[in-house]
Amino acid sequence: MTKRLSSKKQYFLFCTYLIIFTLLFTTTSYAGKVDRTPPSAPTNLRAVTVADTSVSLVWNAATDNVGVKSYDVYQDGIRVANTITASYNASGLTPAKAYKFYVKAKDAANNISKSSNILTVTTTNTTTVPTPAPAPTPTSRVVGYYAAWSAYSGFTPDKIDASKLTHINYAFANIGTDLKITMGYPDIDPTNFTKLNALKQVNPNLKTLIAVGGWSWSDKFSDAALTDASRTAFADSCVEFIVKYGFDGVDVDWEYPVNGGLASNVKRPEDKQNFTLLLQKLRERLDARGLVEGKKYLLTFAGASGSWYVNNTELNLLHPYVDFGNIMTYDIHGTWDKYTDFNAPLYNNSDISPQMKWSVDSSVNAWTKAGFPADKLVMGVPFYGYRYNSVVNLNNGLYQTHTGGSAVTYANIAANYLNAPSYVRYYHPQSMVPWLYNGTTFISYEDEQSIGAKAQYIKSKGLGGAMIWELSQDPNKVLLNSLYNGLK
């Protein structure tokens, strides 16, 4: 005889089955649901370099709920490539021909976005492209800093003689409150970037780097370098920046780890070790991106010339992570001193003087003795000097008190002082630098003779090359030509 369930038990079982069925149906429905919302369209498609048979394109990445998987690139309405990065190099093009490009994003569910803006690009005409001038050999790097603000006074990047440079460092990018790289001069930087990249048509071997920080914008380096997470975020932002704007690498201008620089800068004793870790993280991220794109991204840094800087960094440990280091062998003396002296004396001299003896040679020796390889050491050369006012009329103005002064470009010196009748040029045979004096004004500077001596020094010491601060200060290329010829 079959035992019948009570009404209460039947009702309980019915409710239980109903709940289970509902859960199963709901889970199955959501598990099988496909997000059919397409990604947003890529934006700001633009060309960073244009040559006779190729165009390098970049765009702002699309956003999506599922995650953007790749991008389809269209050329004249035909899909020509699929790439996982927000960049593409179109090659095999015809010179002097107009092409239309647009891009669509594809997500993990294979949903496709609307197209980006349509970009029309005309390749260059091979008959009008300048014949590239021979660049210095890799063992004789000529690195020129270009100051972004010089564009305000008319010295735009297209005025640079790129045929005599191997690298141009664009100064400077800033560090934002999020500890990521950001444009320093957003009103002029995009235009400058385009003109800078165009120089590669003149010198195809030219490399451009974004210099981060500098004297004014080093306040957040200590925070950016503090933890692995902050270092990673900063490094990733640098990689994204250089890919977006067409640079070949990053130049870290932290002025300075541990001590020095502006009084408002954040400084920590652990900056010494964290600077090495920051460069290590940048090297890791740049290499990873280069592996994807099949190219080598550069990492360099600028450091001070004093022994205090050597003591506050790990030059013997950090050098494997960088392609080279730029040593700022200038501002050894200046108008902040009590007495007149040389901006960048090549060697110490035997003069009796009331202030510290230090020189370019002292700086180079300090770096190499600390374990930094000579062939990676790029020696700084100033294209400016210092003018001291109200100088006591003794010893032709050298090592005398003054009432202050200011920096002065070589262009200003050449135009207003070199040939002025009241000024006499003197040259120190040991320190191998010139100065001008008229009985009251003292000017320490560089000329063709002293630049030539510095070029010979670089070759004799087997150094990695020369670095210039900065290119707009010698618009007529007088010093640049002397340096280039001296390094041949």
Q: Is 271 left (phi over 0), alpha (psi -120 to 50) or beta?
A: alpha
The single residue of 240, 255, 270, 448 carrying the catalytic annotation is 255
Residue 255 among the catalytic residues = yes
| Residue 24, both tokens | 């199963």
Asked if residue 400 lies in contact with residue 394, where contact means CB atoms within 8 angstroms, the answer is: yes
Angle at 360 between CA 357 and CA 364, to 5 degrees: 115
Residues, the chain, total?
488
- In the DSSP assignment, the letter for residue 401 is B
How far is Cα 310 from Cα 301, in angstroms, rounded to an integer?
14
Q: Angle CA(124)–CA(166)–CA(377) in degrees, nearest 5?
A: 160
179 membership: H or E segment, kind and range: none
What H or E segment, with its residue span, contains residue 351?
none
Residue 51, amino acid? A
Cis link prior to 470 (omega < 30° from 0)? Answer: yes
- The CB-based long-range contact list for 67-71 (8 Å cut-off, 24+ gap) reads 67/107, 67/108, 68/39, 68/105, 68/106, 68/107, 69/106, 69/107, 69/108, 69/110, 70/105, 70/106, 71/42, 71/103, 71/104, 71/105, 71/106
Among all residues, which ones are annotated catalytic? 255
